[in-house]
Amino acid sequence: MAKLKILKVGDEALRKVCRPVENITPRVLQLLDDMVETMRAADGVGLAAPQVGILRRIVVIETPDEGLFELINPKIIAYSGEQISEEGCLSVPGRWGTTKRPMHVTVRALNRKGETIDVTGSGLLAKAFCHELDHLDGKLYIDVAIKMDSVD
């Protein structure tokens, strides 16, 4: 496994729409492993492939309560409720914003074995699903924040 470089806001790769993964190859599996290592080393909750310069529809998310999710070609298929909370991003270091996200989110994706899975999360996990899937479409949380912290 290898720790990857996390791109920062201003890098044009973060604003690109990612392409679907056609086949789950050893390279895709290695990318998943490297992304998990990178996310954990950075103390993140999630990481999307474009954040490490790979324009593919792949995200990893890990929360203390729900564990690790490796999602290939994820799509939100259902959502409900509302939560307003603080949000940050490994690609926007040192900044925080307030966002409005669904309280409950269901995502359909492929796992590393190529099996279709549906995963439902609430609270932090729902927010992470929305945040990371936004990255796949070239969006950052700062685009949807209802309020950003002030910069000194």
Q: Which of 136, 144, 151, 149 is nearest to 49 (CA)?
A: 136
Quick one: pLDDT band at residue 62, thresholds 50, 70, 90?
Answer: very high
| pLDDT (average), residues 62-74 | 97
Boundaries of every domain in the chain: 12-148
Class of residue 107 by CB neighbours under 10 A (exposed 0-12, middle 13-18, buried 19+): buried
Quick one: pLDDT band at residue 2, thresholds 50, 70, 90?
Answer: confident
CA triple 139-142-148, angle to 5 deg = 170
Asked if 58 contacts 36 with a C-beta cutoff of 8 angstroms, the reply is no
pTM: 0.95
Q: Select which of 62, 70, 87, 132 is catalytic.
A: 132
Cβ-based neighbour number of residue 137 at 10 Å: 13
12 is catalytic: no
Quick one: pLDDT band at residue 151, thresholds 50, 70, 90?
Answer: low
Q: How far apart are CA 134 and CA 77, in angstroms?
A: 14
**E strand intervals along the chain:** 46-48, 58-63, 67-80, 83-89, 92-101, 104-110, 116-122, 147-148
The CATH superfamily holding the domain 12-148 is Peptide deformylase (3.90.45.10)
Residues ≥6 apart with Cβ < 8 Å to 129: 61, 74, 76, 105, 107, 119, 121
